[in-house]
Amino acid sequence: MPANETPTIPQGEPVPHWLALAEALTPALYETEQQPLRLVAAVADASHPLRYRMEDLGDVASLAQADLRAGDSFILDFGGHRTGYLSFLLGTSGREPDAPARLRLTFGEVPTDVAESFEPYTAWLSRAWLPDEVVNIDDLPQSVRLPRRYAFRYVKVEVIATSKEFGLRFEDIRAYAVTSAKSAAPTLPTAAPAWARRVDEVSIATLRDCLQTTFEDGPRRDRRLWVGDLRLQALVNYETYQQNDVVKRCLYLFAGLPRADGLVNACVYEKPRPTYANIVALDYAALYNATLAEYVAATGDIETGRDLWPVARRQLEILGQTVNESGLFVDPGDTWLFIDWNDSLHRDAAIQGVLIIAYRKTLELARIIGLEHEVPEYPEIILKMVSAARRAFFDAPSGLYLSGPDRQVSIASQSWMILAGVPESDAEAVTALRQVALHPGAIQATTPYLVHYYTEAMFACGMQQEALAQIQRYWGGMVAAGADTFWEAYSVEKPLLSPYGDIHVNSYCHAWSCTPAYFFRKCMSFEQEASGF
Amino acid sequence: MPANETPTIPQGEPVPHWLALAEALTPALYETEQQPLRLVAAVADASHPLRYRMEDLGDVASLAQADLRAGDSFILDFGGHRTGYLSFLLGTSGREPDAPARLRLTFGEVPTDVAESFEPYTAWLSRAWLPDEVVNIDDLPQSVRLPRRYAFRYVKVEVIATSKEFGLRFEDIRAYAVTSAKSAAPTLPTAAPAWARRVDEVSIATLRDCLQTTFEDGPRRDRRLWVGDLRLQALVNYETYQQNDVVKRCLYLFAGLPRADGLVNACVYEKPRPTYANIVALDYAALYNATLAEYVAATGDIETGRDLWPVARRQLEILGQTVNESGLFVDPGDTWLFIDWNDSLHRDAAIQGVLIIAYRKTLELARIIGLEHEVPEYPEIILKMVSAARRAFFDAPSGLYLSGPDRQVSIASQSWMILAGVPESDAEAVTALRQVALHPGAIQATTPYLVHYYTEAMFACGMQQEALAQIQRYWGGMVAAGADTFWEAYSVEKPLLSPYGDIHVNSYCHAWSCTPAYFFRKCMSFEQEASGF
């Protein structure tokens, strides 16, 4: 999630001992060698959500006997998504090669990446993010291992030039998938329906491919560590890979690189050295506390909880300044509020909910680490904010939470109010969610990030069947569209949605989409529910 | 010198112990770090032979403070030609970089390389030889060292993409020149005129940049080891760098990779492992013997002479089959005759000359290594071939050597007849050279390779002033056109000559052009001649 136009942030001094701790926690990366399964062709097909189907063109072994000349190309299918590297032995046919070879390689997470030209490129993100590469290879035959890391299932290889004397052959093509996920994650019980087991696999693959030396938001593009993405990945991680030291490392990276006043940045860069990304979002700073509290709860790592406790307290000291005397969030107007990619979304209700959650989670953390006495005011603040929220946003006649002067109805407002515990009963929460689903003008979710919280709100008020139906419709929709990992942006109605103006720069393996595996394990039990399907 | 359309050659078994000897003789490469001198702009200028002049745009240090965005570009001038590598520290301006950078780098030996687009590319050589490279650089700031070797004085850097958030800065730009020339070559005496001292410097720089782990024909393109180029480089080498073991290595590479019948290939590849290039030229096979004989004479390395003696004898056994009973070369029609890049050249007279020289040189070699008794027939063959040449080619009325049914007049025929000692006196040779210069239909030389032999023929018959005037006009012409190293192809009348149909794929540092340094030292004395200028 990159921010478009955001102001420069006055950053604080880095905290060397926390950054050193983060550095010491850098996990090893495990490499898995894989060979391409098949040669494929992308065939235009309007019935497929991404406009193409992949047709089998046969065994990759034929490339070792090929005679590929300028203009020739092929597409490799590795059978699934990976974050990693590519190598091949570039051999020749014909006479002894008397020139270098020039190739264009395009790495595709989905068929559109390798089926369509990237030109003209009209997105506002850097053209340098597009996963194509032109390489010149001397002294053939030559073993080639491309130095950059890519995110891919498909690799399109186009021969730009050989000489008249020789053609190209490709042998021993290998991908090297990397992840810091140590072992396979547990699978769902066989009682779970097939669709859920597949959605679960794809969720876990998404986490695996984002789980590098930090929790990257997307291995293809951005590759930053964002608080919002981290929280969701960490929740899935506790249920699957349990690479808890990577969560700890990420918590220290944020703590070690605060804004001048101590507010946690919305994202930081890990490479080439940890540094500020100069983006702050109020909701993400609040969710840092949730992430820390959940980490300590999941791991029992009291020491880290105590070490980072001042950071958590400081977040609420600063965020608390945005809450007025009656307990209501007042947008200071100078700081980014994320919630979702949607300019028309009114965010006050949602941010109110996030802040209440931050207080609740921080209080839980204080209890676990035995420092509740340091924040005796929190319970009262929470009560005051909940009742302020109710007064400000709840519309009893419709049963909906409305935000802003235009009394805007949105998925975001309902979800965060419910997650913050603002409704007085589950029934009230259920009504809000059912009403918003029926409301023709309701602002919908545009990212899997908000769909996660929407789904979590359903589980929170006992709408398990609806939550499952939503997972099936939304994440299952991506699977039906051919997803091997879950996407940065998706809409059932508009699968070609791009926040950037060009789907070729979308990320198709994106951290904030990986949470079905969490829901399946933490919010329900397939043993009990099996009969429900 | 690449061959265009040549048949596949039945190759012999490699000779492992000779290839092992060649391998053991691989020289170390010496690296010299250099910083760019200035930023320059290529300005169209019809008065310059290459159509551009370079204007100074100031200090390279400004790049460290720059804010270069997509579409921006600059040209670095390193002040002279080198074969080598490039590194730089790619920094950023603006906010923290949130994307990779995509750059196009173009390495220029001459201004046209960086002044003009390479598109549309129409030459018949591989597009992959063009010295441009598109690179994507992650995780900025980043130290970048491009892995490929280039031949360059200029580097054009074009920014293809950053993001809106940041621009690019370039710091610590360095070139790493590589050569196996151990030390500086001796300079000409100060008695030599300035133009000759400059031509000499450029000659020596040409040899230096071609002198790698073999004598490459051109560090930019082709990079092969050709017999014809090797002979000329070796002659310059004995007078300058004296890297005699590299000559020895090259002699063994050819000996280790013969054609099935034992004929030496016209060229071999050194990388990725020594192998056949599947091109044989009769004149190049003959010149292998000259190269070996000259090596032994220059170094006193009798052992190598004796070791490779069977190869030399075998060349003449095979080449001798192209000579008829009266001592005249008869083109077998199935083997390439190089002599010069010129399809309209009739080559019989020139090849006859080359073959006589091969016999003469091989006989000299036999004498030096004490094996004259093995070739008692050579003196008689030489006499027979010389008189056959005279009968067949010499036209007494005009004083010219004519070749072929159309009695073609050419620089090539006169030069090789003279070098072979066919004229009965220097005066006769001088007449031939003066007449060919005046002959309106004479086939001219198209390569520095043939201009070398033309010049050598002048020196051989005492035309020292004319030879010097030719060096000044031809190689001095390249210097006047801005050459830092001598070119693969040049004509005083047509400086934009390309054997390939596009000057952008010409090589501007080419082995066979480096011989003025040989002439200045071996064929004359500037102390004696100083008054002549």
Q: Which residues of A touch B (CB under 8 A)?
A: 2, 8, 70, 95-96, 98-102, 124-129, 133-134, 136, 138-142, 147-149, 160-164, 222, 224, 269, 271-272, 275-278
Nearest Cα of chain B lies from the Cα of A36 at a distance, in angstroms, of: 25
CA nearest to B277 within chain A:
A96
A100 and B136 within 8 Å at the Cβ level: the answer is no
In this model, does residue A413 exceed pLDDT 90? yes
Find the closest chain A residue to B131 by CA distance.
Answer: A136
For A277, the closest of B96, B164, B278 (CB atoms) is B96
Cβ neighbours for A528, distance < 8 A, ≥ 6 positions apart: none
B interface test, pick of A90, A105, A136, A268 with most B CB neighbours within 10 Å? A136
CA distance linking residue A214 with residue B139, whole number of Å: 14
Tell me how far apart the alpha carbons of residues A235 and A511 are, in angstroms, rounded to a whole number.
11
Report CB contact under 8 Å: B100, A134. no
Do the chains contact at A128 and B224, CB–CB below 8 Å?
no
Distance (Å) of CA B65 to CA A147, B145, B288: 29, 21, 55
Locate the chain A residue with the closest alpha carbon to B69.
Answer: A126
Question: Inter-chain contact B128–A99, Cβ cutoff 8 Å?
Answer: yes
Please name which of B33, B24, B468, B402 lies closest in space to residue B213, comparing C-alpha atoms. Answer: B24
- H helices present in A186-226, as ranges: 194-210
Task: Give how far A130 is from chain B: nearest CA, Å.
Answer: 10
Backbone angles phi, psi at B52, to 5 degrees: -135, 150
Give the Cα separation of B345 and B409 in Å (integer). Answer: 9
Nearest Cα to B348, choosing from B421, B278, B410? B410
B-interface mutation test, from A1, A4, A90, A126, most B Cβ less than 10 A away: A126
A219 contact residues in B (CB cutoff 8 A)? none
Across the interface, do A126 and B222 touch by the CB < 8 Å criterion? no
Distance CA A76, CA A86 (A): 11
Residue A289 distance to chain B (closest CA, Å) = 25
Q: Which residues of B touch A70 (CB under 8 A)?
A: 127
CB pairs under 8 A between A and B: 98
Yes or no, beta carbons of A125 and B222 under 8 Å apart: no
Contacts of A222 in chain B (CB under 8 A): 98
pTM: 0.94
**Chain A residues with beta carbon closer than 8 angstroms to that of B128:** 99-102, 136, 160-163
Q: How confident is the model at residue A528 (pLDDT cuts 50, 70, 90)?
A: low
CB A181 within 8 A of CB A464: no
**What residues of B are in contact with residue A278 (Cβ under 8 Å)?**
95-96
Q: Which residues of B touch A141 (CB under 8 A)?
A: 272
Q: Do B161 and A126 touch (CB under 8 A)?
A: yes
Report how far apart, in Å, the C-alpha atoms of B98 and of each of A209, A263, A488, B94, B140 are. 20, 21, 17, 11, 9
Can you read off the two tokens belonging to residue B292? Answer: 């070996």
Cβ contacts of B161 within 8 Å, gap of 6 or more: A126, A127, A128, B70, B99, B101, B102
Distance CA A91, CA A99 (A): 13
A96/B269 Cβ within 8 A: yes
Chain A closest-CA separation from residue B109 CA (Å): 18
For chain B, residues with pLDDT lower than 70 are 1-7, 528-533
Task: For residue A32, report the phi and psi dihedrals to the nearest 5 degrees.
Answer: -120, 120
Q: Do A127 and B102 touch (CB under 8 A)?
A: yes
pLDDT number for residue B6: 53
A138, A271, A277 member nearest B98 (Cβ): A277
Tell me: pLDDT of A532 over 70.
no
Closest CA to A227 of A280, A273, A179, A181: A280
pLDDT class of A3 with cuts at 50, 70, 90:
very low
CB contact under 8 A, A96 and B128: no
Annotate B58-76 with DSSP letters as a single string: E-GGGGGG--B-TT-EEEE
CA distance A91 to chain B (A): 11
Task: Choose the mutation target among A69, A90, A95, A96 for the interface with B, i.e. most B CBs under 10 Å.
Answer: A96
> A8 to chain B, minimum CA–CA distance in Å?
8
Q: Note the pLDDT of residue B528.
A: 57
Cross-chain residue pair A2–B269, CB shorter than 8 Å: no
Q: Do B126 and A8 touch (CB under 8 A)?
A: no
- Inter-chain CB proximity A98 and B141 less than 8 Å: no
ipTM: 0.94
The CA-based diameter of chain B, rounded to the nearest angstrom, is 83
Instruction: Note the pLDDT of residue B184.
Output: 87
Whole-number pLDDT of residue A6? 53
Contacting residues of A for B101, CB less than 8 Å apart:
128
Read off the amino acid at residue A260: A
Residues in CB range of A71: below 8 A, 6 or more apart: A159
Contact A361, A289 (CB under 8 A): yes
Residues of A in contact with B129 (CB under 8 A): 99-100
A222 contacts B98? CB cut-off 8 A: yes
Contacts of A526 (CB under 8 A, 6+ apart): A188, A189, A191, A192, A196, A520
Residue type, A207: L
Q: Contact A449/A232 with Cβ under 8 angstroms?
A: yes
Residue A358 identity = A
User: Residue A300 CB: number of other CB atoms within 10 A?
Assistant: 12
Nearest of B436, B483, B439, B480 to residue B458 by alpha carbon = B436
Chain B CB contacts of A220 under 8 Å are none
Q: How far apart are CA B417 and CA A71, in angstroms?
A: 48
In this complex, do B100 and A128 lie within 8 Å of one another by their Cβ atoms?
yes
Of B272, B275, B276, the CB nearest to A142: B272
Find out whether the peptide bond into B379 is cis, omega within 30 degrees of 0.
no
Bridge pairing between strands A101-108 and A132-137: antiparallel
Residue A4 pLDDT greater than 60, yes or no: no
- Per-residue pLDDT band for A7 (boundaries 50, 70, 90) equals low
Q: How close, in Å, is residue A377 to chain B by CA atoms?
A: 38
Distance (Å, whole) CA B56 – CA B51: 17
Best residue in A6, A8, A90, A98 for a mutation probing chain B (most B CBs within 10 Å): A98
8 A C-beta contact, residue B520 and residue B200: yes
Helix or strand holding residue B167 (H, E): strand B166-179
Q: What is the mean pLDDT of chain A?
A: 95
Looking at this protein, which amino acid is placed at residue B442? A
Per-residue pLDDT band at A27 (split at 50, 70, 90): very high
Out of B125, B139, B162, the one facing A271 most closely (by C-beta) is B139
Report how far apart, in Å, the C-alpha atoms of A56 and of each of A59, A76, B16 are.
9, 10, 45
Judged by DSSP in three states, B35 sits in coil
Structure-block tokens of residue B139:
């995780």
Q: Which residues contact A321 (CB under 8 A, 6 or more apart)?
A: A332
A149 interaction partners in chain B (CB closer than 8 Å): 138
Q: Which of B96, B102, B259 to mutate to test the interface with A (most CBs of A within 10 A)?
A: B96
Among B102, B127, B162, select the one facing A160 at the smallest CB separation: B127
Name every chain B residue with its beta carbon within 8 A of the beta carbon of A147: 147
A256-260, A276-280, B298-302, B376-380: lowest mean pLDDT where?
A276-280
B457-461's contacts with Cβ under 8 Å and 24+ in sequence apart are B457/B414, B457/B415, B457/B416, B457/B418, B457/B419, B457/B429, B457/B433, B458/B433, B459/B519, B459/B523, B459/B524, B460/B418, B460/B419, B460/B429, B461/B418, B461/B423, B461/B426, B461/B429, B461/B430, B461/B433
Residue A497 has pLDDT above 90, yes or no: no
Cα(B369)–Cα(B363) distance, rounded to whole angstroms?
Answer: 10
Residue A10's pLDDT is: 87
**Count of CB atoms within 10 A of residue B56's CB?**
11
DSSP sequence for A421-441 = T-SSSHHHHHHHHHHHHH-TT
The nearest alpha carbon in chain A to B159 belongs to: A128
Bond from prior residue into B332 cis (ω within 30 degrees of 0): no
CB within 8 Å: B128 and A163: yes
Burial of A160: CB neighbours in 10 Å, binned 0-12, 13-18, 19+: middle
How many angstroms away from the CA of B71 is the closest CA of chain A? 12
**Which residues are CB-neighbours of A146 under 8 A, at least 6 positions away?**
A85, A86, A87, A105, A133, A135
